[in-house]
Structure 1
Amino acid sequence: MDELIKRLEQLGINFVMNDMDKHGYYLPDIKTMFVDEKLDEEETKYTIYHELAHYLDHSDYIALYKKPVYHYKMESEANDYAINQLIKEHDGVYNYSQLIDKFNISMGRDVKYFRRSV
């Protein structure tokens, strides 16, 4: 986890853990990533990778994020990036299906990655 935080720092991304209703989000205008402090370590890593994908691939397309088709595409790409990073980090011990199941990632348009019940 420390290496991942160092990577954010090297990219100039401020990292903040707070008690939040969302798992995480990235604000490109202030180059800051917020992650819910109630997540366990794997959920935190997944969330960081997911938000990092938005920084790496979507920072120039923020205006499009409000349009449903682009929103779902960008969320799907961020989920894919996060899954691939966790698989790589665990030397292939995880597979796509296990992580989709573990983090409750929808394969359709409704992104619901590991939502809490209310």
Structure 2
Amino acid sequence: MGNVALVPDKGKYILSQRTIAFKLDKAKLDNLFWLEFLESTIFKSKAVAISSGGTAQGVSQKSLRQVIVIIPSDVNEQKRIGQVLVTVDNLIAANEDKLNQLKRLKKYLMQNLFV
């Protein structure tokens, strides 16, 4: 329902209201893979389906435990998938930045075209 973040576990953090933390068994689940999964449209549609609340929609831990997900059992495969998806996300972000720069340049040039 909100943002997803990968937080290094130093054992010192505070969870606020409407925040859920996952402690992963690294022998079974890769952090980057799980991060990418939680940001996927597949998971987000499941989260919306089980969400509740009026103005601020949220998902309870109890409801979240009922969601069934299918993931590769091989952690090395999860790592490779996670790394590829993070790389693609970074490329998309870089290209969006470049596009925004070009749009600003176009706007500037159009404003100064008939000076």
Answer whether TM exceeds 0.5 for this pair. no
TM class, shorter-length = under 0.3
> Which structure has greater strand proportion?
1
Instruction: Select the structure with the greater relative contact order (CA < 8 A; seq sep ≥ 6).
Output: 2
Q: What is the TM-score with the length of structure 2 in the denominator? A: 0.28
